[in-house]
Amino acid sequence: MAMNRRDLIKSAGMMGMLGMASAVAAPAKAADALEGLVGKGASKFILVHGAFHGGWCYGRVAALLRKAGHQVWTPSLSGMAENAHQFSGSINLSTHIEDIVRLIDVEDIDDAVLCGHSYGGMVIAGVADKRLKAIRSIVYLDAFMPADGQSLFDLDAPGAVQAHLNSAANNGGHTIPPIPSSIFRVNEADQAYVDSKCTAQPLATFSERIKLGGDYQRVAKKTFVYAEGWKDISPFGGAYEKAKTDSGFVTHKVPCGHDVMIDMPDHLAKILVDAV
């Protein structure tokens, strides 16, 4: 019997964090998927994953964008995915922000669309604050939007926060294991794939309070994408409503669960190109 997020929060041993999606539309033909992605000039995209995930989750979106002639970076953050062998309790939000800052510096990336999914919203806010001149547009993909001094724990539901803390306490004090993708309604065909790829999250990435100077608010173009397929348990409804009332934001609703890049890659690719 599939668990839901409320069951997860009540069960003091299992946890998780935002991560997945629901009902997927039928796969588009290659020509249809590329429609609207070409003819706008080559653009640059940095796609930052959320908790428990890695760059792998953007594989379908990246393939579409690259086929249309764009440059795409899909880094896996420290301690995550193929970097899981380097996992450490000392890895925190600042570490992950620095991962992307260094990517920008080493690759000489400029004029880029910076997208962050879920927890990745915390990361991209910090990156934009440090490298404003390199960022053309910022996309919060069903993501947290922090203010200075906030942590993810300040923004998530209290029950979910306690569940994460309990899970970490049962796993060495600094490790939050991933949870089943069905919790966040990944389509059934992809659940086993997503579950096989997800890795543990360092607790300090959720608990560290971000330090922001204000430059992140000066990004010229901002987008918020709200996944309404799990709105009954999503913590992002408030952020979406806030973005809707901000004239600096373009907002989108998508009919799937949390992992939009898994369930609706062609639609997300078009949103990203529109965000250029």
CA-to-CA distance for 25 and 79, rounded, in angstroms? 32
CA-to-CA distance for 124 and 146, rounded, in angstroms? 10
Among 43, 76, 118, 182, the active-site one is 118
Strand, helix or coil at 45?
Answer: strand
Which residue intervals of the chain are DSSP H helices? 5-10, 30-34, 59-67, 93-107, 120-130, 152-155, 158-169, 188-197, 204-207, 237-244, 260-263, 265-274
Backbone angles phi, psi at 116, to 5 degrees: -130, 130
Whether the CB-CB separation of 136 and 70 falls below 8 Å is answered with no
Strand, helix or coil at 214?
Answer: coil
Which is it for strands 201-202 and 221-227: parallel, antiparallel or unpaired?
Answer: unpaired
Whether the CB-CB separation of 32 and 266 falls below 8 Å is answered with yes
Phi-psi map region of 72: left, alpha, beta (phi>0 left; psi -120 to 50 alpha): beta
137 catalytic residue (yes or no): no
> What residues are labeled active site?
118
